[in-house]
Every structure is written in C-alpha cells, then in structure tokens.
Amino acid sequence: MTRKIPQIICALFGMTLFLLYFSQHPTARNLNLTILNDYFQIIFAFTLLVGVVSFVKVNLKAFERGEDRSYHLVSVIGVFIMPLLAIIWGIKGDSPFMWVFENIQVPMQATVFALLAFFVASASFRGFRARSVQATILLAAALIMLLSRSTIGDMIADQIPQIADWIRNYPSMAARRAILIGIGLGSLTTSLRVMVGIERTWLGGDK
Amino acid sequence: MDAGTVIAGILTLAILTFLYRDNPVYKLAESLLIGVSIGYFLVINWSNTIMDLMFVPLFTQGKLMLIIPLILGLLMFGRFNRKTTVLSRIPIAVLIGSGAGVAIPAMLDARTLQQMSATVTPILAPDGLPNISELVVMAGVITTLIYFYFSREHRGWWGKSATMGTYFLMIFFGTTFAYTVMSRMSTFIGRMEFLLSDFLKLTQ
Amino acid sequence: MKKLESRHYVFLGLFVVILLTMLLNVRLEIRVSPETQKMYNYIDSLPEGSVLMVSFDHEASAVPEIKPLALSILRHAFKKGHKLIGVSLLAEGTGIGYRLMQETAGEYNKVYGRDLVYLGFKPQYIAAILSMGESIPETFPEDYLGRPYTQFPLLDSVKNYDNVAGVISIADGSLTTHWIEYAHARYHVPVTAAVAAVMMTTYDPYISSGQLHAMVGGLRGAAEYEKLLKIGGSGRRGMLAQTSAHLYVIAMIIAGNIVYFLRRNKRVKS
C-alpha cells in the first residue's frame, strides 16, 4: 500500500499534465495552471527547505563530534545570518542582506569558479596529447577554435574565423544534435516507464 | 575604499590561496560561502515562493484549497524520521509524475522531432542541388547515433560508421573544450579586473 | 613550505600573463561575429515599446562573464525604448538581475513600474515557465519586493506570453533549453539567449533548427556587443587578456605534446 498509492498519484499527475498539454480549453488551462503553480511549485519549494534543514543538521552533528568545528560553525552561522538580516532590514537593494550577497557570496563564488582557469591550463599541458587519430582531431578542433575566438585569429587570416564557424556550425553541431536526440529519446522512455509504473526506483528500497 | 570592496578583495585572495594547496584560510572562506549561499537561497525561496504562492493567498485571500499542497509539502519533512519516511513518497510522487507528464511532449516534439526535421529539411539547397555542409551534418548525426547504439556489436560497416561517429564527437569535444577555456578565462579576467581596479586601484 | 610542482609553474605562468596584459590596458580591435550581429539586429528591429522578458538564469559564479553580456543587452533594450520584465529561475540570479536592471534603468532614466518591473524568483523552472504561459500574474502575484502585480502600469496588459515580444534568457547553464523546449514549443514565444561561452556549443543545434532565435556568448560576445553599441565596457577591456590566455593555453598544449613525443621517441629508441 505504501508503494501502490504513490504510484497511482504519480501516474495520475503524469497523465493529467500530459493530456493537458494538448488542450486549449479554458478549464484545461486553469487546471494546468493549478497543478503547476499550487502543487509542483509549492511542493518543490518545500523539498528545498528539507535540504536546508538537512544541511544544518549534518553540520551541527559534525560540530558536536568535534570534527573541524570552526568550519562547521561558520557554515551554520552563514545559514542563519541571512534570514536574520532579511527579517530585520528586508531584501531591498541597499539592505544588509544584499550587501552580504554582493560583497561576500558573489565575489567568493565567482573566484571559486575562476580557479578552474588554472586547472584548465594545467590540463592542457598534461592531458591534451595527440596519442591517436581521435585525440588528434580533438586537439586540432580545439586549437582552431581557441585561435579563432582570440583576436589573433582575426589578424592572421580572415579564413580562420570562417573555418572555425563552419566546424562549429556543422560537424560539431551534428554530434551535439545526435547527443540531444539520444537524451530526448532516453528521457521520453524513462518518463513513460515512470508513469506506467515500470520504473519505481524513485520510491526507494524500503517497503 | 568602502568596506564591502575590502572584504570582497580579502575573500577573493583567500579563495585564490587554494592554487598553492588546500589550507585553513581557503577552508574557512569556503565554509562561509556555503553557509551564506544556503542562507540566501532560503530567504529568496521563502519570500518569492512559499509566501507569494502559498501563505499570502491562503491566509489573506482565503484560498483554502492551498491547504492540500501545504500538507503535501510538510509531508516531505517525514524524511527525517525512519518511521515517517514513507509519507514523503506522496509529495515525491506528485513531483515525479508532474515532471514526467510535462517532459513527454517536450522531449518528443522539441528535442527529438524538431531536431530530426532540422537535420533532413535543409539538405537540398534552394537551387535543387545538395548542400554539402548539411550532408556533413546528416552524416554526423547518423554516425554519432550509431556509436551510441550498443545493442549491436560495432563490427563491419556498422563499426566503421561508429568510428566515424567518434570523429564527429571529438570535433564537438574539441570545440567545447575551447569554449570552456574561453569561459573560465573570462571568469578569472573578471576577478582580476576587480582586484586590480576596485581593490588595489592599479588600473582604471 | 613544500616543494612546488609542475602545475604550480603552469598556474604562475597564466597568472603573470593575465596580470601583465591587464596592466597594459590596451584595447584590441575585434571582428563582430554573425551570431552577435543577429542578436543585436533582433533587439534593434523590435518596435519601440515592445515588452521583453529577461530571465536571469545564472549563478553568482558566472557573474564576471555574464555581467558584461547582461549589461550590454539591457542597455540596448532600454536605449531602444523597450519595456522589460525581469524574472529569475535560479535563486542567485535573482539578486544579481535585480541589481543589473536597477543600474541600467538608472542610466536611461527609466521608471520602475512603467518601463521595467522585476518579478523575482520561482524555484521549479519547468513549472514556472509553463505556468507563466497560462498566467504571469498567477505565477508571480507580487514583484521581487512584495508589491502586488496589479500595482504596475507596465503589467496591466501583460497576462501571459501572448503579450510578450520575446524572452531573453541570460544563462550560465542549461536553463535556456527549458525556455526553448517549454515556452517556445508550447506557447511559441521567440527565445533568444546571452550565455556563458561554455554553453554555446550546447545550444548550436537549437540555433540551427530555429528553435533558438539568436545567441550571444562569453566575454568575446560582450566585447562584440559593446562594439556594436559603440560603448566601452568590461568585454572590450578584457580582450587583450582573453587573447593572451588563449595563446598561453595553445602554448601549453604544444609544449605538452613536444614533451610527450620526445619521451615516446626516447622510449622507442631504448
């Protein structure tokens, strides 16, 4: 019963939204809006709250165990400080909430991603080798693209950006399109399997 | 220089220390980043969704039907207890079912059929002659799909087609690598611009 | 202090190259690519007063790359007299989008509520995109700061995508895909994108099929757009450093291969 009822609900919501896609009737569109807004959106927002609670629990437990206390404490303080600032001063452009976001979160997060520039450069030196035909093709495509998307490519010859554009718009795009079609067919069959109850891994292992 | 720029500059440098190796300064900055990000996300999610779509309509406009998604949302918290964890299957069922229901037409139409149509339609140029570049696309799509078809052994002409598919894939990976380099360098250049111009005032 | 490894020298080299080129502060002349020109033409050709939806579908990590792009697009739209509705499908994009729209609106003396409105964030992006196709006021009953939808004159006639000339997705990931596959496929609203360079090859099939109308990407795209708008900005300022960084990576690839072939030849001989 604990597995059957969720499966029935899943099939019901899936079939309803699938059928509503094809209808332009005002009642159908209203129902579509209700399910998307009042159910899908709100429940999803709650799942995110569950994630936040879980994060705090894990960090507090680690703090209790005495593992890297200062790091866990800083994380938990970070979680609580933001709602506190929002409750007291709101979230307007000049609020402390936005100040923390713009002067702490944005610069740090952007810098974490900027670190990848160095690892990409290191990978270029250590891993990008012409060991086989395939690796050589990959290397050649990368070199032409890198050259064309820097201003040097424009300066050397007009043909370089043209060749690079052709490679991107035709052979490269063809492979990406095949991947896209593959993902599309895979998602389609998985969605159908979920709706008819063949795919049940989302229910978890317990009875 | 304002306090925000000083703090942002110091924290930027703290993160960059990771380039030498993992260290306590980086770890502390990273922990702060994780905490603040989650706190920020919590506030935005609460004020823009849970308040907007649920509490305000439910309590100020009397939309009593919203009690159902509220209960379903609260059932998600059942996951924190082994005995009540099965209750969370109901809201998950709504999410999974809804996701599957909206995905089928999108995957079939926008991702599969329209892409297939775009592969076949432009093969003949307006003058009636075959368009070589579009023939390359068609060959690329078919051979790459053959490469990903594992229900038949890659031998003979089928295997050769699959190998051809890998060449197209390599061109795609090479192109994507170059664009990844471009993206990551842009991000670092952006941070350097902040450090040199706003924080250290070395450039304008 | 532990001994430095080879990767540290590669890191140091890149750092020095970018630092020196940024201190030089030289502005390079660049060629405008056809894809950037197409995006520019699209915004330029819309009738004055067209309502555009700008969706900030990116995270804080992409700000250095996305900000110059977003600023160029917003400036162009405001300069042409278009009206903008801002939304965000990623929480971090919410605060950034709000700030960018505020900043650019101030430059062109645009009035909040009449020329622009910022609606804020909804977490389940597919549900948000689809439900806006049915009703934007039901999806966003209030703006980002909690003021009712009905309060703003700009939104009087905006009920769903039928009243919007197009959607511009400013993204660092795959969210533009959902605009294409749900908003465009289901409600036929034209979708365009300003994306991080890393995502450009992902969207090429949609450009080719016409499902994505136009796309501009990366710092290079921002520099090209700034050139078209005849303004200065981070994009054009960063082009020398970008070019040098690309050449540095090319040099690293070549150096790595020379080392590889020398070692291989040595192994074969021995």
Report which of residues C6 and A137 the model is more confident about.
A137
| DSSP letter (8 states) at residue B110 | I
Q: What is the pLDDT of residue C260?
A: 92
Instruction: Work out the pLDDT band at B105, boundaries 50, 70, 90.
Output: very high
Asked if C65 and B183 touch (Cβ cutoff 8 Å), the reply is yes
Half-sphere exposure of C151 (CA within 13 A, CB side): 15
Q: Using CA atoms, how far apart are residues C86 and C158, in angstroms rounded to an integer?
A: 13
Please indicate, yes or no, if residue A38 is contained in any of the structural domains: no
Q: Determine whether the interchain pair A191/B104 forms a contact, defined as Cβ–Cβ distance below 8 Å.
A: yes
Q: Determine whether the interchain pair C61/A113 forms a contact, defined as Cβ–Cβ distance below 8 Å.
A: yes
Can you tell me the ipTM of this complex?
Answer: 0.93
Q: Using CA atoms, how far apart are residues B44 and C98, in angstroms rounded to an integer?
A: 12
Domain of A174 in residue numbering reads as 128-198
Give the chain A residue whose CA is nearest to the CA of B40.
A82
Please indicate, yes or no, if residue A204 is contained in any of the structural domains: no
Give the chain C residue whose CA is nearest to the CA of B194.
C64
Residue C214, SS3 per DSSP: strand
Residue B128, SS3 per DSSP: coil
Please indicate, yes or no, if residue B90 is contained in any of the structural domains: no
- The count of other CB atoms within 10 Å of the CB of residue C24 is 11
Mean of per-residue pLDDT scores for chain A: 92
Give the chain C residue whose CA is nearest to the CA of A93.
C99
Asked if C58 and C96 touch (Cβ cutoff 8 Å), the reply is yes
Detail the DSSP E strand segments found in C142-252. Answer: 166-171, 191-195, 214-217
Q: What is the pLDDT of residue B82?
A: 86
- State the helix-helix crossing angle for B3-16 and B24-45, rounded to 10 degrees: 120
Planar angle of CA A70, A73, A74, nearest 5 degrees: 85
Residue window 25-84, chain B: list those with CB within 8 Å of chain C.
37, 40-41, 44-45, 47-49, 51-53, 56-57
The CATH code for residues C31-237 is 3.40.50
Q: Determine whether the interchain pair A120/B53 forms a contact, defined as Cβ–Cβ distance below 8 Å.
A: no
Closest Cα in chain C, distance from residue B49 (Å): 6
A92 lies within 8 A of chain C by CB? yes
Please indicate, yes or no, if residue B73 is contained in any of the structural domains: no
C89 lies within 8 A of chain A by CB? no
* Chain B residues within 8 A of C194 when measuring between CB atoms: none
Q: What is the pLDDT of residue A207?
A: 58
Residue reference for tokens 């350097």: B192
Instruction: Work out the pLDDT band at C1, boundaries 50, 70, 90.
Output: low
Q: What is the pLDDT of residue B155?
A: 92
A18 lies within 8 A of chain C by CB? no
Please indicate, yes or no, if residue B196 is contained in any of the structural domains: yes
Mean pLDDT for B133-151 is 95
Sheet of strand C166-171: strand arrangement? C116-121, C83-88, C51-57, C166-171, C191-195, C214-217
Q: What is the pLDDT of residue C242?
A: 94
pLDDT > 90 fraction of chain B, expressed in percent and rounded: 83
Q: What is the pLDDT of residue C24?
A: 86
Per-residue pLDDT of chain A (207 residues; tens, 9 = 90+): 788 999 999 999 999 999 998 888 999 999 998 998 888 999 999 999 999 999 999 999 999 998 889 999 999 999 999 999 999 999 888 899 999 999 999 999 999 999 999 999 999 998 889 999 999 999 999 999 999 988 887 788 888 899 999 999 999 999 999 999 999 999 999 999 999 999 888 887 665
C143 lies within 8 A of chain B by CB? no
Mean pLDDT for C46-69 is 95
Q: What is the pLDDT of residue A142?
A: 96
Residue window 90-149, chain C: list those with CB within 8 Å of chain A.
92, 95-96, 98-99, 102, 122-124, 126-128, 130-131, 134-135, 138-139, 144-145
Q: Is C146 left (phi over 0), alpha (psi -120 to 50) or beta?
A: left
Q: What is the pLDDT of residues C183-238, one digit of tens each?
A: 999 999 999 999 999 999 999 999 999 999 999 999 999 999 999 999 988 888 88
Structural domain total, chain B: 1
Residues in a beta bridge with B67? none
Q: Determine whether the interchain pair A46/B74 forms a contact, defined as Cβ–Cβ distance below 8 Å.
A: yes
Please indicate, yes or no, if residue A59 is contained in any of the structural domains: no
Q: What is the pLDDT of residues B145-195, one digit of tens each?
A: 999 999 999 999 999 999 999 999 999 999 999 999 999 999 999 999 999
| DSSP letter (8 states) at residue B124 | B
Mean pLDDT for C145-172 is 95
Residue reference for tokens 């006639």: C157
Mean of per-residue pLDDT scores for chain B: 93
Residue B131, SS3 per DSSP: coil
Please indicate, yes or no, if residue B183 is contained in any of the structural domains: yes
The pLDDT of residue C269 is above 90: no
Structural domain total, chain A: 1
Domain of B137 in residue numbering reads as 128-204
Q: What is the pLDDT of residues C171-185, one digit of tens each?
A: 999 999 999 999 999
Please indicate, yes or no, if residue A116 is contained in any of the structural domains: no
A149 closest CB neighbour out of B42, B96, B178? B178
Encode burial over A4-42: b for 16+ CB neighbours within 10 A, e otherwise: eebbebbbebbbbbbebbeeeeeebbebbbbbbbbbbbb
Closest Cα in chain C, distance from residue B105 (Å): 9
Mutate to test the interface with A, among C4, C9, C10 (most CBs of A within 10 A): C10
* Chain B residues within 8 A of C218 when measuring between CB atoms: 179, 182-183, 186
Asked if C214 and C189 touch (Cβ cutoff 8 Å), the reply is no
- Domain residue ranges of chain C, discontinuous segments joined by +: 1-30+239-270, 31-237
